[in-house]
Chain A
Amino acid sequence: MSDKNLKRVAYYPGCALEGTGHAYDRSTRALGKKLGLELVDVKDWNCCGAMEVKNIDPKIQTYLSSRVMSIASEDMGFDTVMAPCNGCYHNLKKAEYDLENDPENVAVTERLSKKAGHDAYKPGSIETIHALDWIKRSIGEDGIKERVKNSLKGIKVANYYGCMYTRPRHIFPEKDQGPGSESTLKPHFMDDLLQAAGAEIVDYPLKTACCGGAHTLSDSDTSTKLVTNLLEAADECGADVIATECPTCHSGLEMHQIRAETRFGKKTNSKIVYFTQLLGLALGLSARKVGIHENVSDSLKYFKEKGVA
């Protein structure tokens, strides 16, 4: 798509990747290193506001996200910031959009930035990309194919993208732009990359269904129902692994897989693994390097049987 040089980008891990999503952080960094892509951490970053701050006031969320982008562009001189977390990615994209189109949002962001003592984000100064864009645009399927050491052959994967990666459409102007671009209705970047790594992609109809991540704790039964639906569908599609690209979805699936088992007696078999972990294994990184042992669903034995770990 873009010819921009993605060999060196600003990296915004976000709060989740320092906690429950640690395996995602670990595997993303390991993958970058293996592929010769440099990640420079955004310095003194703050939380993007996740899914919660917008319910207090959406403009604060815009400000929080804009602060991250402002530091990456104004202080550090980057034109691209990569956020692997769907929540962070979504909020930064939303701030990009809102600050380009909504004068009220701009006014609040400028006011808060001034009081906080830093430069306000300048619309258009930096582009936010997801970890999927990062690999897809810098390395691509062909690049992955060339580098595969342990093909993921025989590993049946259902790709789960979740809500925040594609919705609402208007904050992702680069999507749905014809061949080569990502689709908001049927996203395929993860499918493309994992297929290039040899995995067998099953036709999973719930790619962008919701895991109830926003109410994981506040309305757990609803979340458990939604996740059980996702997991049972994956089983029915014949998938062994659900590949994820969001720490909230990932830990939601893990947590409610257990909750469905302990509370509702519904046992499902899918192993829940970050796509960066799968790509890492395919490129010859060890299971420990990509943090397989940090996942709750035990997949080490499975990957050993398949000869990739």
Chain B
Amino acid sequence: MPIHEQNLIRPENIITNDELEIDGIDVSGHWSTFIESRVVTDYNEDIEDEIAALPGGANIHRCWQCGSCTNSCTVNEINPDFNPRFWIYLVRMGMEQELLRDKDIIWQCVSCNKCTYVCPRDVQPEGVMKALSHWLELKGHTPKSPSMHFDEEFSEQIFATGKIEESRIIRGFFRRTGQPLMQDWLLELVKRLIRHLPLKLLFTMGLANFVRPRTRNWSKAGAAIEEYVLERDLFKRKALGLGPESDDQGAAK
């Protein structure tokens, strides 16, 4: 439901007793509707700095809550609960528990950059969304999202060979996320594709499954990138107050 149509008081905080007597007066049913008072005491004052330390989050402090990002958002149009403006607000207020209510959809940002285009304060909300989903995963609030699995599969191929090969990406991604490769629509796509393709092209595409396309003289560049990635991982974990990755709990020090 769009945020402006939601009741300010959550249903779970409204209490109605079917049978209740107070000071000898029967206030059963509607008359005993109470609003549970809500006091926020668990502000997380570090969360804004933590988001700002992750790639994409650096400008979050600039936000003045105009709402242009949510207004232009591609995903918000499909799912009104996807609300970048609101999440930026919660992060800046330190309302972690409130933010965690939406933890399972934040990764769905499609990076269309409409928000960054319209933002009058250069917050770069697209980057903030990526930093947020990264933060949720690093803190252990959510498992790795399908999107992160895809990004990792993709990036690892580039770091290893300098290039990607699409069928390898598809297979690697389905393997990582435990999905069957034989998806109905994928089969239909392949069926329609091979109807017209010349044998030669099919052969080259098939061959790419066995002989990985790679950039010549890539190994040194690949190694330099891998080294940099490890360095950044350490930096990120430190900024979020996490121990090294081998620490299974991933808990704060």
Contact = CB atoms under 8 A, between A and B. Distances in A.
A112 interface: yes
Interface in A202-245: 209-210, 212-215, 217-219, 222-223, 225-226
> Which range contains the number of B residues in contact with the other chain?
35 or more
B224 interface: yes
Contacts of B127: 58
Q: What secondary structure prevails in chain B residues at the interface with A?
A: helix
Interface string B184-203: 11001100110011100100
Interface in B200-253: 201, 205, 208, 213, 215-218, 220-221, 223-225, 227-229, 232
A222 B75 contact: yes
Contact of B113 (A112, A163, A213): A163
Nearest to A116: B221
B221 A293 contact: no
Given A168-B117, A255-B185, A293 B155 contact: no
Given A46-B163, A115-B223, A168-B116, A55 B130 contact: yes
A174 B158 CA distance: 30
A15 interface: yes
A169 B198 CA distance: 40
Interface of B: 55-56, 74-75, 78, 108, 110-114, 116-117, 124, 127, 130, 134, 145-152, 154-155, 158, 162-167, 170, 173, 177, 184-185, 188-189, 192-193, 196-198, 201, 205, 208, 213, 215-218, 220-221, 223-225, 227-229, 232
Closest 8 CB pairs of A and B: A116-B221, A210-B112, A115-B224, A218-B146, A46-B162, A52-B154, A167-B113, A293-B196
Interface of A: 15-16, 18-20, 22, 44-47, 49-60, 63-64, 67, 108, 111-112, 115-118, 163-164, 166-169, 184, 209-210, 212-215, 217-219, 222-223, 225-226, 254-255, 258-259, 262-263, 293-294, 296, 298
